[in-house]
Amino acid sequence: MFKSEIRILGFDDSPFKRNDEKVLVVGVIYRGGSFLDVVLKTDVAVDGLDATEKLVELINSSRHKPQLKVLMFDGIAFGGFNIIDIKQLNKKIHLPIIVINRKYPDLDAVRKALENNFADFKKRWKMILNAGKIKVCELRNLKKVHYQTIGLLSSTHSDIPEPLRVAHLIGTAMIKGESNGRA
CB 146 within 8 A of CB 104: yes
Mean pLDDT of 61-68: 95
pLDDT for residue 173: 87
Out of 54-58, 98-102, 162-166, pick the least confident.
Answer: 162-166
What pTM was computed for the model? 0.79
For the stretch 146-168, pLDDT in tens is 888 633 444 445 556 677 778 88
How far, in Å, are 74, 161, 179 from residue 1 at the CA level? 20, 13, 29
Complete domains list, the chain, with CATH: 7-176 (3.30.2170.10)
CB 123 within 8 A of CB 86: no
Q: How confident is the model at residue 44, as a pLDDT?
A: 98
- Report pLDDT for 26: 97
Between the alpha carbon of residue 155 and those of residues 60, 81, 163, the distances in Å are 26, 26, 8
More confident site: 175 or 182: 175
What average pLDDT score do residues 21-25 get?
A: 98
Non-local (6+) Cβ contacts of 102 within 8 A are: 145, 146, 159, 160
- Nearest CA to 127 out of 91, 92, 96, 87 is that of 87
Q: What is the largest CA-CA distance in the chain?
A: 46
Res. 1 pLDDT band, cuts 50 70 90: very low
Q: Which residue has the higher pLDDT, 71 or 144?
A: 71
pLDDT of residue 9: 95
Which is higher by pLDDT, 71 or 138?
A: 71
